[in-house]
Structure 1
Amino acid sequence: MNEGTLTARTMVRPREIVPVRLMNVSEESKVLHTGTVVGQLTEIGEIQKKPLSGDKLPFKELRKDLADLLRKSECELTPEQRQKAKEFLIKYTSLFAENNFDFGRTGIVKHHIETGDSRPIKQLFYK
C-alpha cells in the first residue's frame, strides 16, 4: 500500500470474508483498483481465550478508555444510573472505537444525497 494509507488489523476464521478497513491519511485522493494488494494475510497459531466484548466483565476488566469515561461521568450520575451505564458499556464494548483508527462499517443504514439534475462531485476534506 502507498504512504499515507493505513490498514487496520483484523482476525477471521478460515473461509470467512475478510473485512478490510482502510484510511487515507494524506491530503490527496487515492484510487483502489480491483486486484490492488492492501495487506498481508498471516495464519496464526494458538489463540489465548479472553472474554468477548459482549461477555459480562467485572468493572476492573472494563476497557481502560471506557472505564475512564465511566469514571468521568460518576459525579453526574445517581448510583442506579451509574450501574446502568456500567452494564451498557460492558454489554456494548464492541461498539466503541478503541482509538482514532478503529473504524467500523454497517450496511444497516443507507443514505442518499439529492443532487437534483447535477452529477455528484468528489472533493477533499477541508477545515
Structure 2
Amino acid sequence: MGGNSYAHPFLVAEINYDGLLGFDFLKSHRCTVDVHSSVLRLPPESNVCGEGPNYPETRVDLETRKVKVRVVEDVLVQPGHEMILPVQPEESSRQSMIVEPISTFVQKHNLMVCKVIIDGTSERSPLRVMNLGSESKLIRKGTVAAEAEPIVDVWNAETAKLKREPDLVASVASTSADIPISPHLGPMIKGCRNKLSVDQLTEVKKLLSEYDDVFSKSNTDIGKTGVVKHRIETGNQNPIKQSLRRAPMHL
C-alpha cells in the first residue's frame, strides 16, 4: 500500500456483499479511513515496515470504479466446450485490471466464466468461458460479459527489502548472473523474471543448469525412452493382413 509492504495474516473467502475487510489490521496500525475522499491513511509512527518514526505518512487511494467488458466479435460456444472470448473494457487503464463475470450474463447463457487479470492497455484480451448446457450459445459482438477494475501490484516483504537496499540487489543479481544457462533455456528464464523473486529466480537457474541435458533443443531433438513400454491388447483376434491398394488419382 502506498509503495510499502505490510506483513499481516489473512483469510481468503468468497464474499458477495460489500463491506470493510481487514478491520483488525486497520485497528492495530491506527489507520484512518477518510470515506469522503476515499483515502486510507497510515500514520508514520505506526512503523509497520520498520522505517522509523520519520517515515512520511502513507496515503492510499481507495476509490475504484468498475467498467463494463464487452465481447469484440461473434463467438459460438458449443455445448460442453470451453472457448476464449475476445473482450475489451469500455475504458482502458495504465494498470492491470481484474475481470469478473456478471450474474446476468452467466444466467442468461448458462456459461461458466473464469476470473482473469488483463493488461489494461490492450485492445483485445482473452476471457475463458465454458458452456454448461446442452445447446450451442452464440455470444454476439458488443455483449457485456463481465466487469473490470484496476488493480495494483503487490510487493512481498522480500522484494520490498531489496527495493530499499540497492547493494543487496546488485549482490543477488551478480550471483544469479554467474550461473551458466544454455541458450535453449533462455525463454524459460525470461518467462519467470516478472513472476519470481530474485532468490527464487536464482534457484530456478540452478535447477535448469543442473538438468540442462533433459530439455530438448529443437522440435527434432525430442529423443526416446525405454523406461515405459506400450502394449495394445487385442484379445484372441488374429493379426490382419491386407493387400496394397492403388490410391485414386484425384486424391
**TM bracket (short chain):** 0.3 to 0.5
Query: Highest CA radius of gyration, 1 or 2?
Result: 2
Comparing both chains, which one has the higher relative contact order based on Cα–Cα distances under 8 Å and sequence gaps of 6 or more? 1
